[in-house]
């Protein structure tokens, strides 16, 4: 899970690596998971033992309620709640279209990545936020502050 972005390798060249094309992952997942976070030490601690070839990714619609207590990786416990404390701020520091999308659609502009906890050690049930902790935190915070939130949200879900 080496991040090649810092080495000047473009995403286009990165995804053409035969080891990655064999995964048959959607570009959005490949970019957010391996290209952007592959060399992040804490991310690798949490997910470095995953058998990447055993994961199939699908774009799924998830009810808002499912995100209320959804955890993230062990190394970032509490991070989602940190973002939830000030959802307006975390949207304001993003590109303007992110805020417009929340206001108009009540959801994120780009689906986060969730993983079936049955793929993790120790094995558990349910889904876990793999990438998109800020987005999920904003969702929780907007719900708490009674701001516009859609009933369902799209997310990439990795399952065996």
Q: Give the model confidence (pLDDT) of 21-66 as tens digits.
A: 888 899 999 998 888 887 778 888 888 888 999 999 999 999 999 9
pLDDT of residue 5 exceeding 60, the answer is no
Domain that holds residue 123: 5-159
pLDDT band at 1 (very low <50, low <70, confident <90, very high): very low
pTM of the predicted protein model = 0.91
- Please report the pLDDT score of residue 92 as a whole number: 97
Q: For the ranges 42-46, 90-94, 117-121, which has the lowest average pLDDT?
A: 42-46
Q: Is the dihedral of CA 56, 98, 107, 132 positive or negative?
A: positive
Share of residues in the chain with pLDDT > 90 (%): 66
The H-or-E segment that residue 104 falls in is helix 96-105
Q: Give CA–CA dist 44/47, Å, rounded.
A: 5
pLDDT of residue 6 exceeding 60, the answer is no
pLDDT of residue 121 exceeding 90, the answer is no
Domain count, the chain: 1
Q: Give CA–CA dist 106/125, Å, rounded.
A: 27
Tell me the pLDDT of the chain averaged across its residues: 91
pLDDT band at 118 (very low <50, low <70, confident <90, very high): very high
Q: E strands within the chain?
A: 56-63, 113-116, 127-131, 152-159
Do the beta carbons of residue 146 and residue 87 sit within 8 Å? no
Task: Please give the residue that has the higher pLDDT: either 15 or 158.
Answer: 158
- Reference 109, options 125, 132, 140; nearest CA is 132
């Amino acid at each position: 899970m080496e991040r090649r972005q810092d080495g000047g390798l473009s995403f286009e060249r990165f995804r053409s690596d035969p080891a990655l094309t064999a995964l048959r992952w959607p570009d959005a997942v490949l970019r957010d998971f391996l290209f952007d976070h592959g060399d992040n030490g804490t991310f690798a601690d949490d997910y470095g033992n995953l058998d990447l070839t055993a994961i199939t990714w699908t774009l799924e619609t998830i009810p808002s309620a499912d995100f209320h207590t959804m955890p993230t990786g062990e190394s970032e416990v509490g991070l989602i709640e940190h973002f939830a404390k000030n959802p307006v701020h975390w949207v304001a520091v993003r590109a303007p279209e992110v805020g417009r999308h929340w206001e108009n659609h009540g959801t994120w502009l780009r689906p986060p990545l969730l993983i079936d906890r049955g793929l993790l050690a120790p094995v558990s049930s349910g889904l876990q936020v793999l990438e998109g902790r800020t987005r999920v935190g904003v969702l929780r915070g907007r719900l708490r502050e009674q701001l516009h939130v859609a009933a369902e949200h799209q997310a990439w879900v990795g399952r065996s």
